[in-house]
A and B are shown apart, each in its own frame.
Chain A
């Protein structure tokens, strides 16, 4: 039987903001691009996100943050992944991210930042380039 590999993406909303629309748009958009998207819902702790990413063996994590707490939350997720030996997973951040914070996020190890106005096609292309494989 042939290879049936799929790119798996975890779309997660850490922290306390309840603005889910962006995460939904990305989740369904990436599905239409052929990815397998695991969506975990609102108000996830960094521990829950790390645990889900490891168990689901995702290739990519997309954090959607609109609360302003992106630096703190992303830092915790990155640390959690490292502790579990899963820091090879590509982490991307989306939502309301001020321009001046992008560099700080990248220094933490974030692979890409996609703020509002980003095109699904671009996100999908970015993931495909970084990960390779079918989807």
Chain B
């Protein structure tokens, strides 16, 4: 590995904020050597408690995260926060505004906040976010909180990689429960009805409870539903108790769980496959002639996909053989 990277890793491990931030950028940008960084630090990770927070847009996730991160920080924990917001599919740019809601903690010595754009990475977001969690873990953060808007498979996948998943909704807008119903109910360890100072919070609580009762889980495994308000601070103490219990449990438990490790290997493979497809099969104009065949009615998308796949396998075999010849 380049000496520059080794020094960066060393400094990040010794509490340098700047080195930690640079390390994250290097890995997030997938710059040369990023994978070496991850391989080097992996053995020193797995200790942190990862809390995933997701839910409908406008549910007050950032404010809530700001509030409980502050209290965890006051208890002496070191904390990393990763706030994921979508990139614009048109320009590739993004406005990342979660820090606006976390201003109280922005100068806490023991809290490190990082905003992250989704960058339209096909299935790659989840792995990139996992990598950032891991770098923070390596840098010694006791707790890493990862926050995403619960819309889209990618974002949901990100939080489902966490040790503990908090689903946040709020009273107002008839679709608030609908939004968390769509495929995310199952991943929640805790349901939070935020903005409970508003009218209708109790109705949302009973709707969610009713839905959870309908699921086949046994009573013991039904996740709690609580009400909070980041504004009036109602329910925050209860939330803190629940989180503390989880943090204690995680400390005693294993560093990594088999399910998560399996998911991660699959996720890395998927990401690599996508980039192979982009670079070697569909990129470099390889596909243009084939598309003409479809348009002129001489072929169809299914046959072309088969053909490209076959061609790729042939290339791969030739390469393997050559490699063998050299050895």
Contact = CB atoms under 8 A, between A and B. Distances in A.
A48 B94 contact: no
B25 A27 contact: no
Contact of B275 (A1, A27, A34, A40): A1
A40 B30 CA distance: 26
Given A4-B30, A6-B119, A48-B103, A37 B22 contact: no
Contacts of A129: none
A4 B119 contact: yes
Contacts of B113: 52, 55-56
B32 to A, nearest CB: 8
A41 B95 CA distance: 12
Contact of A4 (B17, B99, B107, B121): B121
A57 B272 contact: no
Contacts of A41: 97, 99-100, 103
A35 B93 contact: yes
Contacts of A48: 103, 106-107
Sort chain B's interface into a size bin: 35 or more
B29 interface: yes
B21 A57 contact: yes
Contacts of B99: 38-41, 52
A37 B21 contact: no
Given A4-B30, A36-B93, A135-B93, A84 B18 contact: yes
Given A1-B30, A2-B30, A86-B18, A31 B106 contact: no
B94 A36 contact: yes
A112 B115 CA distance: 25
Given A1-B271, A4-B119, A39-B96, A57 B24 contact: yes
Interface string A108-126: 0000000000000000000
Interface in A1-48: 1-6, 8, 27-28, 30-41, 44-45, 47-48
A31 B88 CA distance: 8
A98 interface: no
Contacts of B22: 57
Interface in B102-117: 103, 106-107, 112-115, 117
B31 A3 contact: yes
Contacts of B25: 8, 57
B227 to A, nearest CB: 27
A60 B24 CA distance: 17
B92 interface: yes
14 contacts: A1-B275, A3-B32, A5-B29, A31-B88, A33-B93, A36-B93, A37-B95, A38-B115, A41-B99, A51-B106, A52-B106, A56-B114, A86-B18, A135-B93
Interface of A: 1-6, 8, 27-28, 30-41, 44-45, 47-48, 51-52, 54-57, 84-86, 135
Interface of B: 17-18, 21-22, 24-25, 28-32, 87-88, 90-97, 99-100, 103, 106-107, 112-115, 117, 119, 121, 124, 271-272, 275, 279
